[in-house]
A = this chain, B = another copy of it.
Amino acid sequence: MSDKTQATQPLKFADIDEWHYETDVAVVGYGGAGSCAAIEAADAGARVTIFELLSAAGGSTALSSAEIYMGGDGGTRVQAAVGHQDTDQAMIDYLAACAGPQADLDKITAYVQGSPAHFDWLVEQGVPFKDSEYKERAIMALTDDCLLYTGSEKAWPFNTFADPCPRGHNLEVEGDNGGPLFMKVIQEAVAKRDIEARFDCRALTLIQNQDGEVCGLRIREDMQEKNVRAHRGVILSAGGFVMNEAMVKKYAPSLLKCSVPIGNSGDTGSGILMGMGVGGAAINMHEGFVSVPYYPPASLTYGVFINAQGQRFINEDCYHGRVGAYVLQQRGRGVYLVLSVDDYGDYETVSYLGATVAGTGETIEELAAELKLPEGQLEQTLATYNQHAADGADPLFHKSADWLKVLKPPYVALDVTPGNGAFFPYFTLGGLDTKPSGEVLTPEGNVIPGLYAAGRTACGVPRRGAGYNSGISVGDATFTGRMAGKAAATRTATH
């Protein structure tokens, strides 16, 4: 067999003369999406085999905080226990606002309506959630408390579309260990089923019959290319493409202004490419999550972001990923977070940001001069901000009164100009277009029989950096994994 097998060049079913493995449902990638897909497929009565590139399960889910985003009518057990009343409508409206013009309302609706049951299913698998709330403004809970705001729910303009409700569910574990714990628990759930997991297997390309049906895939294992027959379906849950620099440059080059790609080393886009090879549409490929992790400490939220024109451009109480998206849009050289030194707090010990001090000043004039901003601009911007903050209002960007405070000297400005050293992690948000069932669609909207995608390999509920929130990727991966597992297991193949 050729060494040149490429993801986008499917093999023909008729050309395969030996099947090395036979299964009903072949799952590519053993992360959050793949594990949940495998469980559901097995529970629906299918033989299931997982093929994982690396030597262990985990995927990018294991690297994440795994704050799973759930809520909706009736709420989850935790939402109810701590007294938050959520509704499907509020959650749908919020997620639709997050996704903006790219929103897939069918997918959002399925996700929301299935959300309380998803919580229960996770608990059944052994995922532990404590009936408690974490009330700080944080990127992640470092305690074992559960429920927290993980996006821009309380911030403008999202709070004009839906009543805010916290929906991030942190696992019951101390520290930033939700992802590893989630994968440990879910692997145990996989192990309880008759599911085969093969490691160190690189999925190369799909195998398709003359009617366009996906019938299996080719993998490389032990230096050998092998053919896998999947009688009911193949599920691509192999992550995104953030680790494939050439692909990022081709599809989402704006992200290369950021500093660190976030993902598993397997996030090379191979799943997306395999899907494209059999005619799947890859959509939203230009979009990514970009973070400017300026909190903790939460007190930095009292500051104001300033561009090279000395203008504010965002309500600083929104989610750090939304700030990241807008920071990338600013023109000219220089983006700063201007603070009262009083609010600088324990920045140097607790922050992930790594931004250097761009300037300080006993007066605004002094700071503005150090930052080389156009004369008078910072002075005007801060005078306006302070005057409004004193009244508890922000008529420009509607920052919540909770985070409005008159900035007082001495001042400090952190340099959050992309490329100047601050930490700008990023990952991609594009993937295969799918139905809520996980069935992969062509650009014309037809289903490719036998092919499913889940997690970051698909383009799911999260669609925009400017409307991202934590918990939605693992939420989407685990939920869409389940949907794809169910759908694949119950499909009647025509061959």
Contacts and interface: CB of A to CB of B under 8 A. Distances in A.
Interface stretch (A3-11, A76-84, A195-203, A478-486): A3-11
Interface in A231-269: 246-247, 250-251, 253-254, 256-257
A226 to B, nearest CB: 21
Interface string A261-294: 0000000000001001101011111110000000
A125 to B, nearest CB: 34
Contact of A9 (B102, B212, B332, B384): B212
B256 A101 contact: yes
Interface stretch (A53-61, A169-177, A181-189, A373-381): A373-381
Interface in A416-444: 433, 442-444
A6 B6 CA distance: 25
Interface string A311-334: 110000000000000000101100
Nearest to A445: B246
A396 interface: yes
Candidate in A254, A277, A329, A374 with the most chain B CB atoms within 10 angstroms = A374
Contacts of A102: 253
A397 interface: yes
A284 B254 CA distance: 11
A394 to B, nearest CB: 9
A111 to B, nearest CB: 19
B375 A395 contact: yes
Contact of A397 (B287, B309, B375, B444): B309
Nearest to A395: B374
A310 B311 CA distance: 11
A356 interface: no
Contacts of A492: none
Given A101-B256, A277-B279, A396 B380 contact: no
A157 interface: yes
B377 A6 contact: no
Interface residues of A, number: 52
Contact of A396 (B253, B377, B443): B377
Copies of this polypeptide in the complex: 2
A143 interface: no
A246 B100 CA distance: 16
Contacts of A157: 331-332
A446 interface: yes
B8 A442 contact: yes
B8 A250 contact: no
Nearest to A459: B250
A278 to B, nearest CB: 9
B396 A250 contact: no
Contacts of A311: 311
Given A101-B253, A380-B384, A247 B396 contact: no
A222 to B, nearest CB: 25
Interface in A88-137: 100-102
A276 B443 contact: yes
Contacts of A254: 100-101
A312 B377 CA distance: 12
A124 to B, nearest CB: 36
A461 to B, nearest CB: 15
Nearest to A273: B443
A401 to B, nearest CB: 16
Contacts of A329: 329
Nearest to A309: B396
A312 B331 CA distance: 12
A380 B251 CA distance: 41
A241 B94 CA distance: 30
A251 B256 CA distance: 21
18 contacts: A6-B442, A6-B444, A8-B443, A9-B442, A250-B281, A250-B283, A273-B443, A273-B444, A276-B279, A276-B281, A277-B279, A285-B285, A285-B286, A286-B287, A309-B397, A376-B384, A377-B396, A380-B380
Q: Give 9 nearest A-B pairs by CB, closest first.
A: A374-B395, A101-B253, A309-B396, A286-B286, A101-B254, A8-B442, A311-B311, A380-B380, A6-B444
Given A101-B257, A273-B443, 18 more contacts: A6-B442, A6-B444, A7-B444, A12-B210, A101-B253, A101-B254, A246-B445, A247-B443, A250-B443, A276-B281, A277-B279, A282-B443, A283-B285, A285-B285, A286-B286, A310-B396, A311-B311, A374-B396
